[in-house]
Chain A
């Protein structure tokens, strides 16, 4: 039961960190016309990999993505009016990560080859998330969905996926190394105080930015 409480607080904290980064660093990258999607997908992936290694709970990363997506509700100025589209993109990343790690072969590969699995997961998370967003964004807006647009876009998505693959390989490698620091082994009172404070701080910063 104690482990459950810790997992919930971890979902809130890491989801909030992810959401805050999307609102601040992601928006900043957008303004510089840098590949914000690939960079943010890689950062998100490293958070998901770290928490999966520490807490060993499937479903946790999807929940983190959901929490992170809620930050987009505070970030209306940056996303051009389609808050659901931006939220969907984040949730899609969490969903694809969870689906990928349902494959036993992928789990074994992930545990033994951090750099390559990071690249593979980064590529899949980014490209899959991009495709899902391209499908669902028209359905959530007044514009129509044209399959010809998606087919024409696939080569571009698959090429851009290499940006995410490269960055993810590095960040996932770092996340593997950082997972030797097991946050969940902190003393209970310290853990609760730390995670709650960081979560509240993330929401506070996102609210005032």
Chain B
């Protein structure tokens, strides 16, 4: 995978203002962090996180107020926050506005549709997953064996490529419907 793809793919229809913002942030990142491969990985992960929502249906979606935003929640300090903001900015998913929320702990999960749990929350993982359960929240993380712990999608890096595993059982439990196309791409699929 090439570096420029991750920045180019998600913003083909960026407004001039958005483009200017992106350029400012990228330049900032380049100056403050010289660990380039890691940045690339964050960007890809943010893009995947956003794109997953296009292949997943939430249970109330047909009768929910479509005006209400699709909330991406990032718990704790997450390196993805900034990148995701760039991607999500002014975008919609099936007509719903996408919004990003940074939360500190599991008590703030109310209204979240997608929850990303960074490596830093590894210790509190089971608590967070418990709190999330029953709220129809899509849980994504790059914590190793995340699917085994009851998370739904786990990021993996294989052959220098970002891949993911899916725990369909966890998804079904939360009444989330995954597209067969998405399932087809999963490295491992636990049912």
Partners in one complex: no
Residues of A within 8 A of B (CB): none
